[in-house]
Amino acid sequence: MRFVNIEEVQKDLQNIADQVGETGFVQAKALYMEKVAVVDEKGEPLSAEDVEVVLMPKMAEDEEEKAVEDNEETADKADEDEDMEDKATPKSITLNRRKAVAPATKMAPAIHRPKIWSKLKNFKDDSSGDAVTKAMRFGHWLLASRGHRKSLNFCDANGIEVKAHTEGVNSAGGFLVPEEFENELISLREQYGVFRRNARVRPMSSDTLRVPRRSAGLTANFVGEATAGTESTQTFESVLLVAKKAMVLTTISNELNEDAFVNLADDVAGEIAYALAKKEDECGFTGDGTSTFGGINGVVTQIEAGTTGVMYHDAALGSGFGDLTLDNIGAMMGLLPAYADTPNAKFYMHKATWHGMFEAALTSAGGTSAREIKDGYAGTPTLFGYPVEFTQVMRSAYSANKIGALFGDLSLAASFGDRRQTEVQISDSALNAFEQDELAIRGTERFDINVHDVGDSSESGPVVGLLF
């Protein structure tokens, strides 16, 4: 780590800006600041908010040449005027002259580098910007919502809207998150959520949505000569989606907010997105229709209440994980109808179920070297060519007569109604936050899940299960 003063930082960053230009400056500046520590005249370290650097925009070469020529012409003209005045002025009189100088260049706004206490886990580098910048902007928005003067100025200078839900104090409704941060939260929620990522998402323009679903198709029949055909009817039924609100609520201390707001912004965004995605997975996979799951019945619940040999294969395990065989897995896969054997077909199970049962059944079959076991597999595991998706809301331990794994195309079995994307509101008065000098943060979304196709007593559906 190299110790530098303000003047050195100014010079180094100016050189970087001249070399990489405006588009590459943010990333280059971040790399530079990670390698230096800024100190004052006495050698004492400075905090991020105390470091102010002003950059001069670089002129194009033709503009620089023109500026030099203009300065020289102005200077020559000034000398000519001085000579003419000297001829008409008595030698005993001395005139004060000043040569013409280049006009002052407009300066860019001050650049502040926030302190990063640890590597960011949720915001990512992508085409919309680097992770640190996105987290810094979200953190400044959080602080601005609290009335922090520097963050309010930052938001105003960088086009970040800080708009109250209602006029007056924010205790009435808090502050609504700007669209750029809402998009980041949506991306995080889709990254964490298994069910949303694999079900068919249907946007809802109102609180309810009816989706037509074909329940019976047309039938072909043989007919004799000059014999009337038998009419068949294609019938439809409705899949109803009713939006329900899910909420996550937490508080943070004001001291933490001010000391590490970039890492705090990263944590808040990740935790809200993860909590909502987990609730979606619980409802979609294991929901039992109670208020805990918003009245939603999940895939596992509906298959367990179905018919063995059609909707699920009963492995009839003796005592635990170690009794699963490849034949049991094959029997479950054999229940899946051909129309559901699509590129979207996957296995769904808890990570512990994969390692404790399925992986053990594979290794016990033999043909695997010690080196292959040691090296394992990178990324998403596969089983018989199908991806294995881990969902931690499903059962993690052996439980007799319970579904422990699913197989099929979830997009054909369930519809995910998305009424409103993730919304974050912030207040300094809710949950006794004012008395405790805290900040209350609330994340909400509105959605519904309808698992409408899991088969019946005579036909398998697009998702089948394995009963332990």
Q: What is the pLDDT of residues 129-138, one digit of tens each?
A: 778 888 888 8
User: How many domains does one find in the chain?
Assistant: 1
Has residue 432 been placed in a domain?
no
Q: How confident is the model at residue 191 (pLDDT cuts 50, 70, 90)?
A: low
User: Is it the case that residue 107 has pLDDT exceeding 50?
Assistant: no
**pLDDT: which is higher, 191 or 397:** 397
In eight-state DSSP terms, residue 358 is I
The whole-number average pLDDT for the span 59-84 is 52
- For the CA atoms of 175, 181, 182, 188, the dihedral, rounded to the nearest 10 degrees, stands at -130
The whole-number average pLDDT for the span 2-23 is 75
Distance CA 38, CA 50 (A): 10
Residue 262 confidence (pLDDT): 77
Has residue 345 been placed in a domain?
yes
Both tokens of 307, joined, read: 């018919």
The whole-number average pLDDT for the span 235-247 is 82
Both tokens of 82, joined, read: 């001085």
Both tokens of 58, joined, read: 């670089």
Q: How confident is the model at residue 296 (pLDDT cuts 50, 70, 90)?
A: very high
Residue 168 confidence (pLDDT): 35
Distances (CA, A) of 391 to 180, 267, 354: 29, 22, 11
**pLDDT: which is higher, 75 or 284:** 284
Residue 227 confidence (pLDDT): 74
The whole-number average pLDDT for the span 4-10 is 77
Residue 172 confidence (pLDDT): 36
Has residue 424 been placed in a domain?
no
User: Is it the case that residue 106 has pLDDT exceeding 50?
Assistant: no
Domain that holds residue 344: 292-415+453-467
User: Is it the case that residue 350 has pLDDT exceeding 80?
Assistant: yes
Distance CA 51, CA 190 (A): 37
Residue 201, phi then psi, degrees to nearest 5: -85, 125
Please state at what angle helix 131-145 crosses helix 179-192, rounded to 10 degrees.
120
**pLDDT: which is higher, 34 or 248:** 248
Both tokens of 137, joined, read: 């902007």
Has residue 358 been placed in a domain?
yes
Most confidently modeled range among 242-246, 374-378, 417-421:
242-246
**Which amino acid would we find at residue 314?**
D
The residue count of the chain comes to: 468
Most confidently modeled range among 47-51, 149-153, 320-324, 372-376:
149-153
User: Is it the case that residue 451 has pLDDT exceeding 80?
Assistant: yes
Distances (CA, A) of 308 to 49, 140, 215: 65, 56, 22
Distance CA 433, CA 435 (A): 6
Has residue 301 been placed in a domain?
yes
Cβ-Cβ contacts under 8 Å for 281 (sequence gap 6 or more): 193, 194, 195, 391, 392, 393
Q: Which of 16-20, 59-63, 220-224, 387-391 has the lowest mean pLDDT?
A: 59-63
Has residue 211 been placed in a domain?
no
Has residue 462 been placed in a domain?
yes
Residue 204, phi then psi, degrees to nearest 5: -110, 120
Has residue 397 been placed in a domain?
yes
Distance CA 433, CA 253 (A): 9
Q: Which of 13-22, 37-46, 231-240, 248-257 has the lowest mean pLDDT?
A: 231-240
Distances (CA, A) of 332 to 194, 277, 341, 405, 406: 21, 28, 13, 9, 9
User: Is it the case that residue 228 has pLDDT exceeding 70?
Assistant: yes
Residue 112 confidence (pLDDT): 55
Average per-residue pLDDT for the chain: 76
**pLDDT: which is higher, 325 or 159:** 325
